[in-house]
Amino acid sequence: MENTSRNTEFQSNSDACSNTVFDHHRFDENFDFDVQELGRDWIPECSEGLKPYIDQRFSDLDQDFIFYKEYGRSSGFDIRWSTERSDRDGNTIEKYFVCSRSGRPDDKNVDKKTPKAEENGKGGMQFLRCSRSLTEFHKRFIFDASKSNIGASRAYTIFKSMIGSYEDVGATVVDFKNFSRDIKQHIGKHDTDMIVQKFRDIQESSDPNFKFEYKTDSANHLTQLFWADGEGKRNYEVFGDAVSFDATYRTNMYGMVFIPLIGIDNHWKSVTFGAILLEREDNENYIWACESFKKVFGKDPKCIITDQDLAMKAALQYSFPLVKHRLCFMDKLGRVIWVDHIMPEEFEQGWTYAVDEFDLNKNVWLKEMFDMRSLWIPSYFNDEPMVGLLRTTSRSESSNFYFGNYVQRGDTLSEFYICYQSAIEKQRNNAKKLTHYDDFTPKTITDREIEKDAIRLYTRALFYKVQEEIRAGSMDIVLLGMTCLDNVKKIKIQEPVNKTRIFEVAVNMDTHNIECSCKLFTRVGYLCSHAFFCLGICGIRIIPRQYVSNRWLKNAVERFSTLELGEISDRDATNLSRRVQTQDCWFEFQGCLSDASGNADILEYIKNGLCSMRKHITITMNKPRTRLNSKQIEELIDSRVVNEITIQNPNKSNNKGSRKRIISGAEKSIGCNKRKMRKCATCQEYAYHDSRTCPEKN
């Protein structure tokens, strides 16, 4: 393409009118060969409107470059910026745009064994550099896709499906990958500074209740990070009676342990109060996390549920000596030895029977679990509020899986927080949807007034649980006996499905206080079927209000939280308005396409209108096409890029999930056989080494 570049070489001169002119003298000077020698296939072919002509003028060099780029694209060759000449004042007086293959390549870089590559031609127009340009829409799409853990390759495939074909994407999958790489490179060593600065900006602008804590080591590397926003603190104020700490791994490029603080909201769904990032899982780090928890939230929970991590257990005993600590219940083991209303003696008998039946008496792990049975078997703490969090093996795994759909191990801290926010936004949006459905009246299954009272009080999710207890209390419960002393009725009842167990219920007819031996209300916060049965036979038609927990009521956060969310700052209001305008434009565009319904004339009309608007916008905005810069990064991640590094990025941690499996020698030899050989620039041989590791180099 060397000769083609001469045929299409372009020079721009700046005259007194600041216009760019096509110089025919330079063109004629370079046109010193016989065109026929090239053959017709080497002469660019395009429409007459795209061909450059002598004395053609442009408003500036950017418009000049755009024109020549389109000329090269339609003709089937790439272009590039070339030499430039300036006067003594630094003003550009000559500028060349040439074919990308202009010039003679250095002979030492030519691989003589590789056949000469043919020209792209118009059949490969989509792969030309001038045909590939990541627009703002491309960049925003790639970045938004990454918030949901969609990598560049999948984002490219999805974008193709949206546009229609690979030719219409306007970029290659490599361009998508390079953009994701460039974001990480721009963040680079400023990662920790950017996330801390972002947290400060949130405090100052949009959320004064946002709190965060961090700690660095002696070399000023970040080691711990804790944060909770205003909405999370409001949720904790209402639903923070029981909190689950469960570590998650492989969520960021530094290998830091991610610990979401999980509770249960009034819809019986997981709610996130805040989050922690720790360098290591040791006693010191967990103690810092617990102390930061107390500092940020201001009050202790009633119960903390964790896994079997010994360091976390020691930290909780140090920081929360008065808070109950329990282990999450293991569902699979529980199906064999655990049922509702079981007593400690019954559990121990069932455990012994199961261990003997499966010949597991010598199993060390099972022996350790039996020794700590008071921490995870509910029969040993029936009188403690757990609000359904005890069986958190599946709930914790669900939370880990949920966040795993948004974050990935290669994320920087800035990217991780953006993905975390996407997960939280979805979680809170689902809560809003469930709150909206609370206004719809569910169907009743009995004619009891107490069921209608439950509809007025509880959210739909909790009503269905209470409804099941009311239904069970209206069925075949057997009354064994009833006594009355000092206006307190003591009732003995039996369930038809569990005739070996007798439940005792005491009802105070003056205060309507009620207590059942199953202690369901103490554990989860709503009355059991035994209580509803006894309320019925005592003539009490509504739920006693002392047994209506605030956490399960409709609009619980709005009614019982004392924290007020801050007002939106001018900057955030501007960004919100811009997002709304962008959404409106997108919906209008989609509406136009929908209304066109495949009509070719209407689609052509829409296309012409869009082209006209784009030309007007290009001239009005006068926005030069530049590579990814700090300003674009700030707009994407909504955080300022700090020039000076004040906090060093975390060191790479070696926690669970961050280690690589040790590869055996046999696997290494098999892997070498699968590798492709490449040419070494030192020995000029095809081998598994390169010039850096070449044996001849030494």
Distance from chain centroid for Cα 578: 22
**Integer CA distances (angstroms), 518 to 434, 524, 527, in order:** 30, 12, 10
Q: Which amino acid is at 507?
A: V
Where are the domains positioned within the chain? 2-127, 132-189, 192-328+386-438+632-653, 330-375, 449-554, 672-697
pLDDT for the residue 102: 74
Q: How far apart are CA 507 and CA 484, in angstroms?
A: 9
Q: How far apart are CA 22 and CA 536, in angstroms?
A: 96
The total number of residues written for the chain in this structure: 698
pLDDT for the residue 592: 87
pLDDT for the residue 193: 92
CATH number of the 192-328+386-438+632-653 domain = 3.30.420.10
Q: How far apart are CA 506 and CA 517, in angstroms?
A: 9
pLDDT for the residue 394: 55
Distance from chain centroid for Cα 593: 31
pLDDT for the residue 686: 87
pLDDT for the residue 120: 45
- In three state form, how does the secondary structure of 279-321 look? CCCCHHHHHHHHHHHHHHHCCCCCEEEECCCHHHHHHHHHHCC
Q: How far apart are CA 372 and CA 327, in angstroms?
A: 9
pLDDT for the residue 24: 39
Question: Element (H or E) spanning 530, and its range?
Answer: helix 529-537
DSSP summary character for residue 114: S
Q: How far apart are CA 243 and CA 607, in angstroms?
A: 55
Mean pLDDT by 10 residues, the chain (698 residues): 38 40 43 46 72 83 82 79 86 84 58 45 64 80 88 91 82 88 87 92 89 94 95 94 84 90 92 94 93 94 84 90 77 50 73 79 80 70 58 61 86 92 94 94 92 95 94 88 92 85 92 91 89 93 94 93 70 67 82 83 89 82 62 78 85 70 60 71 84 76
Q: How far apart are CA 43 and CA 83, in angstroms?
A: 23
* Global pTM exceeds 0.85: no
pLDDT for the residue 615: 80
SS3 341: coil
Residue 600 φ then ψ, to 5°: -60, -40
Sign of CA dihedral 299, 303, 307, 310: positive
pLDDT for the residue 17: 35
pLDDT for the residue 40: 45
Assess contact for 257 and 405: CB atoms under 8 A. Answer: no
